[in-house]
Structure 1
Amino acid sequence: MVTMVGNESDFRKLVKDLIYLEHDAIAAYDSTIERLDDKTLSAKVDEFRQDHLQHLSTLNEIAAEAGIDAPEKGDMKQMLTTGKIALADIFGDKTILKAMKTNEDDTVSAYERASQHEEARPETKAFFMKAHQDEVRHRTWFETTADRL
């Protein structure tokens, strides 16, 4: 799935869409942790899940400061992010990790674009850049670990 999150011209819409994206990502992480056979992999994936929880917390703070009603759960895309994990489970841990890598492609793109948003304050842009770095790290791990399995 290719996300359009980060292309919003309205900052309020951007923040709301990033919150949806984080809820969707967390659901995919929950599904992944539950389905991985290798508990060492599950523990690492849970570390990344904690990053997403922190991103969501910060986005909720940004939303509150901007007077945005923050979504409390994911949107319809959540079925896609978790669905591909469920399908990948048929083929094992390697395929699950590859499916998660594709989910991370979306978060990498979204935060990269968000960090360039003209309406974002400098401290918000700094958060977006940090989240982007986290997502690149996650994606790299999913890709390289899947390739080793």
Structure 2
Amino acid sequence: MPSLIGNEDSFVETLINLIELDFDATAAYAAAIKRIDDGGIGDRLGEFMSDHQRHIQELSRIVRDLGRVPPTEADFKAVLTQGKVIIGNIAGDKGILLAMKSNEDDTNQAYRQALQRSDILPVARPVLERNLADEHRHRVWIEERLTRM
């Protein structure tokens, strides 16, 4: 659960959980893009998916530098994040965006909590701050788009 991210025993475990969460988000974006009717929304969701892929790469580099092996695929939570999108598809584009907003709420919370750790590594702080800024931008765009629907 994203709400637990930031409470792990070690900072590297927090990073590993964030990577898994970004894999989950990437899978959810892929599911949303396949189902969205509005091509403009789909293009924007593709940009957000690319941000999550970049997060995976950057965090994985740090995890490897710490001597650990980063995750290479989504975990079981991907089924949950994709499931929100699939169920949201019943309500069309608005339902899909509502599902994606819920997923972005989770990633925003996870990155905020990770940044509150007392043992955060100096090399990781700017990466986490940049990723949180991306997550915030994703959520704000989705919220604005929803208000116009």
Give the TM-score range, shorter chain.
Answer: over 0.9
1:49 counterpart letter in structure 2: M
RMSD (CA atoms): 1.2
Aligned residue-pair number: 149
1:66 counterpart letter in structure 2: L
Superposed, which structure 2 residues align to 1:14-33 within 5 Å? 14-33=14-33
Pair 1:2–1:117, CA change in 2 (3 A): closer
User: Does the aligned pair in 2 maintain the 1:16–1:68 contact within 8 Å?
Assistant: no
Find the residue that maps to 1:90 and give its secondary structure: helix
- Cross-structure match for 1:99: 99
Tell me how far 1:21 sits from its aligned partner: 0.4
1:125 counterpart letter in structure 2: R
- Cross-structure match for 1:13: 13
Moved over 3 A (4+): none
Identity %: 40
1:50 matched to 2:15? The reply is no
2:85 counterpart letter in structure 1: I
- Cross-structure match for 1:140: 140
Pair 1:87–1:111, CA change in 2 (3 A): same
TM-score for the superposition, normalised by structure 1: 0.95
User: Does the aligned pair in 2 maintain the 1:115–1:126 contact within 8 Å?
Assistant: no
User: Gaps spanning 5+ residues in structure 1: where?
Assistant: none
User: Gaps spanning 5+ residues in structure 2: where?
Assistant: none
The one-character-per-residue Cα deviations of 1:92-115 (angstroms, maximum 9, x if unpaired) are 001100110000011101111111
User: Does the aligned pair in 2 maintain the 1:94–1:147 contact within 8 Å?
Assistant: no
